[in-house]
Amino acid sequence: MKTRFGEYGGQYVPEVLMNEVNKVAEAFEECKKDREFQDELHRLFVNYTGRPSMLYEAENMEKDLGGPRIFLKREDLNHTGAHKINNCIGQALLAKRMGKTRLIAETGAGQHGVAAATIAALFGMECEVFMGEIDTERQALNVYRMKLLGAKVHAVKTGSRVLKDAVNAAMQEWSRRCDDTHYIIGSTTGPAPFPEMVRYFQSCIGREARAQVLERTGRLPTRVYACVGGGSNAAGTFYPFLQDQGVALVGCEAGGKGVDTPYHAATITKGSIGVFHGMKSIFCQDKDGNITEVYSISAGLDYPGVSPEHAYLHDIGRARYIAITDEEAVQAFEYLARKEGIICAIESAHAVAGVLKEAKTMNKDDIVVITLSGRGDKDVAAIARYRGENLHD
Ligand SMILES: *Cc1c(COP(=O)(O)O)cnc(C)c1O
């Protein structure tokens, strides 16, 4: 089994977890080859998630920008409203196959927790979600959603009580109890095989988009944009295009209040190499190697690390990563709503902003795909607040 992307990746886990992580890796290798697993995955993607997701041509945007053709890959239309369900379905199927009866997950804003709780409900499995205490307060609605779905939510009170602490708590719980429990990591992060496995389950995004663009235009896109938090929707979007050298891949990170302030989560733009959460990758850290607190208006991009695969794609120059500020993301969020009637997730708005920012460098021969990783209902109150309006809920 390959555990690295160049020098990144690996399995930096305590002895007690090493065995379990390797069992997951073995099960994953078997699932890839197993016809029954693939059929079941496909059946759920079609009947439960609603795949393939639509590829929508944003003609109003095209007219307004006067340059490229622009296609939106609509992961926002998936059941539960984002791409996270793709990964949860895949890993829950794998867990079932391994004989597990209980799922645990970490969550920041609650999107991954809700997706994990959803699939646990469908499969009749137990589910417990670890969430930083601060996040449980900020995202009370998603906490209640998870409870409705039958999951138990643990408010994590250690460290800075945010996402990175929730990951630590979930890892600890997994090492205490891996006999009946699978830990569904929510992004392309953690020890091998998780970065590769999560990308595998998310690759439906890029595979479908590639075929859909070919069918609609007779050509491959010239550029593909996706937002990057831990990097799963971007990795799943990029992967099927990696061999297509004419396709530029652009990851949009959270520039927050600016990458020259401490308030951002632009890991590749500003971070350095380290080891954390079971992997070697790039992290936002101080010069002593302490992981720093990160910030973004978008809770889904608010992670101090990034997938080892993105660190590698950046190093070899196959993908390019840019930072988008809160202000640029909010403007793109509002722009897409008014121009196309689509309220996308504030995370996804970072990818839209990347295109708005670079549109002047493109021309009529360009074909652009933007992955809309999720829908924006969850963000409406925060955008209003950003604009100085307070909504009552
Ligand atoms: C969680 C989330 C993200 C960020 O996660 P990745 O692993 O980087 O894809 C982006 N968009 C939405 C809508 C999310 O919920």
3-state SS, residue 101: coil
Residues with C-beta less than 6 Å from any ligand 1 atom: 82, 84, 111, 187, 227-234, 300-301, 345, 347-348, 373-374
For residue 1, pLDDT beyond 80? no
Residue 186 pLDDT level (bands cut at 50, 70, 90)? very high
The residue from 198, 215, 240 where one domain ends is: 198
Higher-confidence residue: 393 or 37?
Answer: 37
CA of 225 to the centre of ligand 1 (A): 13
What number is the average pLDDT over the span 46-57? 98
33/122 same-domain check: yes
CA of 31 to the centre of ligand 1 (A): 25
For residue 392, pLDDT beyond 80? no
Active-site residues: which are they? Answer: 84, 106, 373
50 torsion bin: left (phi>0), alpha (psi -120 to 50), beta (else): left
CATH of residue 318: 3.40.50.1100
| Percent of the chain with pLDDT strictly greater than 70 | 100
Atom nearest to 236 CA in ligand 1? 9
For residue 18, pLDDT beyond 60? yes
180/250 same-domain check: no
Residue 278 DSSP symbol: T
Probe target for ligand 1 pocket from 85, 167, 187, with the most ligand atoms within 8 Å of CB? 187
328/350 same-domain check: yes
Euclidean distance between CA atoms 201 and 186, whole angstroms: 11
88/76 same-domain check: no
Residue 260 lies in a domain: yes
Tens of pLDDT, residues 251-310? 999 999 999 999 999 999 999 999 999 999 999 999 999 999 999 999 999 999 999 999
Residue 392 lies in a domain: no
11/148 same-domain check: yes
Tens of pLDDT, residues 204-237? 999 999 999 999 999 999 999 999 999 999 999 9
For residue 393, pLDDT beyond 60? no
Q: At what angle do helices 326-340 and 346-358 cross, to 10 degrees?
A: 90
Using DSSP bridges, classify how beta strands 55-57 and 319-325 pair: parallel, antiparallel or unpaired. Answer: unpaired
For residue 163, pLDDT beyond 90? yes
> Which pLDDT does position 391 carry in this prediction?
84
Residue 169 pLDDT level (bands cut at 50, 70, 90)? very high
Q: Whose CA is nearest to atom 14 of ligand 1?
A: 300
For residue 46, pLDDT beyond 70? yes
Atom nearest to 345 CA in ligand 1? 13
Residue 307 lies in a domain: yes
Residue 391 lies in a domain: no
Atom nearest to 189 CA in ligand 1? 7
Probe target for ligand 1 pocket from 79, 373, 380, with the most ligand atoms within 8 Å of CB? 373
Atom nearest to 198 CA in ligand 1? 7
Structural domain of residue 116, as residue ranges? Answer: 4-45+84-198
Residue 123 lies in a domain: yes
The residue from 134, 167, 198 where one domain ends is: 198
11/90 same-domain check: yes
257/361 same-domain check: yes
Atom nearest to 235 CA in ligand 1? 9
Which amino acid is it at 383? Answer: I
What number is the average pLDDT over the span 134-162? 94
Residue 368 lies in a domain: yes
189/310 same-domain check: no
What number is the average pLDDT over the span 34-49? 98
Euclidean distance between CA atoms 128 and 224, whole angstroms: 35
Domain count, the chain: 2
Q: Whose CA is nearest to atom 3 of ligand 1?
A: 300
38/64 same-domain check: no
Residue 292 lies in a domain: yes
Contacts of 341 (CB under 8 A, 6+ apart): none
What number is the average pLDDT over the span 335-343? 98
Mean pLDDT (the chain) is 97
Residue 195 pLDDT level (bands cut at 50, 70, 90)? very high
Euclidean distance between CA atoms 264 and 250, whole angstroms: 18
> Which pLDDT does position 295 carry in this prediction?
94
Residue 393 lies in a domain: no
What number is the average pLDDT over the span 91-105? 98
The residue from 198, 233, 255 where one domain ends is: 198
Tell me the pTM. Answer: 0.98
219/256 same-domain check: yes
CA of 157 to the centre of ligand 1 (A): 24
41/59 same-domain check: no
CA of 325 to the centre of ligand 1 (A): 16
Probe target for ligand 1 pocket from 72, 346, 347, with the most ligand atoms within 8 Å of CB? 347
CA of 374 to the centre of ligand 1 (A): 8
3-state SS, residue 374: strand
Measured from the Cβ of residue 130, the count of other Cβ atoms closer than 10 Å reads 25
229/331 same-domain check: yes
